């Protein structure tokens, strides 16, 4: 497969893109509703401490740390659909396990298993999108794909919060099961045959060698670390803003709105920011997003009511979109068409390091000090990341 072969604009390719986006939306709805806002509240309900809640929240990104890079690189070799189908089995089975938990360690184990779904699905699906579009459209279409996942991600806290407000945790996880099965059914109908996105890229036989060469590229690694820093803050936000909401007197429905506002702001802004990165370059958006996100996290402890917390949530969501609208396009272009899966898998693994470390470290800080200290540390990491990124990429 040549580079020109990977740029597809046919009607069939558009259908592949639409079906993939739809399946992704339901898959991410399922997995996000399992954690936002239900997970920390369920953990507290079964007796988990603040540090245990951070540990439980950190479990689902760990599979991404372990296998996302390998999954992406392996998909360069064997094609995308096999890996996507493996992930969809997890999406459709994990929600039932939440119905069986009664101890914090059991919940942590379920979160670890559930994490394999997105650990495989996200880098491989993004690689499929990168295969189909050239540099002038890649940022926009990766952002559109990401926004499709955000449809599910944004609906999840509203739907999950509403279900939890009126019923029980069990009903939340039954809803996760239904949407996970829908994702699998839709994915099985994607018209992959003959599409570059489903072809094995025969240039990359050496999975580990491909990853090793990318690990030596300072732009790929620095960009991936910035995504990791962004997801450190996002993990802290997801795990502890619901509990902070309880602390300031919000109910489950209001907490769901706060969390959903952050994701809706990402959904709405990301396609525009992706197009902007196509036109103006990838690096400015990464720098600006890290700065805005850092300031938003530092501002969280000053939010003492529903409206203020919602506004800060929206600002933080836009900051995440600013960073992530550029990072995936930048690393895939740096790697080249034969290593789309490898580069995006490596990005995802490093992202998951941050996503896992965020709630874990923040849980310990909050347990030892306060919510304010936990959010401030996350904000300072983003601001330091912006400075580091400028220093490393300057002149390259």
Residue 392: pLDDT above 80?
yes
More confident: 97 or 193: 97
Q: How confident is the model at residue 82 (pLDDT cuts 50, 70, 90)?
A: confident
pLDDT tier, 5 (very low <50, low <70, confident <90, very high otherwise)? very low
Of these ranges, 118-127, 174-183, 263-272, 278-287, the one predicted with the greatest mean pLDDT is 174-183
Q: What is the pLDDT of residue 107?
A: 94
State the Cα angle at 182 between 179 and 187, rounded to 5°. Answer: 130
Q: How confident is the model at residue 362 (pLDDT cuts 50, 70, 90)?
A: confident
pLDDT of 93 strictly over 90: yes
Residue identified by tokens 């019923």 is: 167
**75 against 279, higher pLDDT:** 75
Q: For residue 353, what is the domain's CATH number?
A: 1.20.1250.20
Which range in 34-38, 112-116, 200-204 is most confidently predicted, on average pLDDT? 112-116
**Structural domain contains residue 231:** yes
Instruction: Tell me the mean pLDDT in the region 38-47.
Output: 88
Q: How confident is the model at residue 6 (pLDDT cuts 50, 70, 90)?
A: very low
The closest alpha carbon to 342, from 204, 211, 225, 200, belongs to 211
Cα–Cα distance for residue pair 366/358, rounded to 1 Å: 12
Q: How many domains does the chain have?
A: 1
Within a domain: 196: no
Burial pattern 217-241, b for ≥16 Cβ within 10 A else e, equals bebbbbbbbbbbbbbbbbbbbbbbb
More confident residue, 304 or 56: 56
| pLDDT the model gives residue 202 | 41
Asked whether residue 200 is domain-assigned, the answer is: no
Which residue segment(s) compose the domain that 298 sits in?
A: 4-191+206-393
- Which pLDDT score is estimated for 69? 87
Give pLDDT, residue 7.
45
């Amino acid at each position: 497969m040549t580079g020109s072969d990977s740029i597809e604009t046919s009607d069939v390719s558009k259908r592949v893109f639409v079906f993939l986006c739809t399946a992704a939306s339901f898959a991410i709805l399922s997995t996000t509703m399992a954690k936002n806002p239900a997970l920390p509240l369920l953990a507290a309900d079964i007796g988990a401490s603040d540090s245990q809640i951070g540990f439980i929240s950190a479990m689902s990104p760990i599979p991404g740390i372990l296998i996302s890079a390998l999954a992406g690189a392996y998909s360069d070799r064997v094609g995308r659909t096999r890996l996507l189908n493996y992930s969809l089995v997890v999406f459709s089975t994990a929600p039932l396990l939440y119905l069986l938990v009664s101890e914090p360690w059991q919940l942590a184990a379920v979160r670890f298993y559930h994490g394999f779904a997105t650990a495989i699905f996200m880098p491989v699906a993004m690689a499929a999108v990168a295969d189909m579009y050239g540099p002038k459209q890649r940022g926009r279409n990766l952002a559109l794909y990401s926004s499709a996942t955000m449809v599910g991600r944004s609906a999840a806290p509203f739907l999950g919060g509403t279900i939890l407000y009126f019923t029980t945790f069990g009903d939340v996880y039954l809803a996760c099961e239904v949407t996970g099965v829908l994702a699998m059914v839709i994915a099985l109908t994607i018209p992959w045959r003959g599409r570059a996105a489903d072809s094995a890229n025969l240039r990359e036989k050496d999975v580990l060698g491909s990853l090793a060469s990318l690990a030596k590229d300072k732009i790929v690694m620095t960009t991936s670390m910035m995504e990791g820093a962004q997801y450190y803050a996002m993990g802290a936000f997801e795990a502890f803003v619901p509990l902070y909401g309880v602390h300031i007197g919000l109910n489950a429905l209001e907490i769901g709105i706060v969390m959903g506002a952050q994701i809706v702001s990402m959904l709405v802004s990301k396609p525009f920011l992706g197009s902007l990165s196509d036109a103006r370059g990838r690096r400015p958006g990464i720098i600006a997003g890290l700065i805005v996100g850092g300031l938003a996290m530092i501002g969280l402890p000053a939010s003492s009511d529903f409206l203020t917390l919602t506004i800060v949530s929206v600002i933080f969501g836009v900051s995440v979109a600013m960073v992530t609208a550029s990072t995936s396009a930048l690393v895939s272009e740096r790697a080249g068409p034969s290593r789309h899966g490898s580069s995006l898998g490596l990005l995802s693994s490093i992202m998951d390091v941050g996503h896992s470390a965020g709630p874990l470290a923040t849980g310990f800080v909050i347990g030892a000090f306060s919510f304010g200290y936990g959010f401030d540390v996350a904000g300072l990491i983003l601001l330091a990341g912006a400075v580091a990124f400028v220093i490393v990429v300057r002149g390259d």
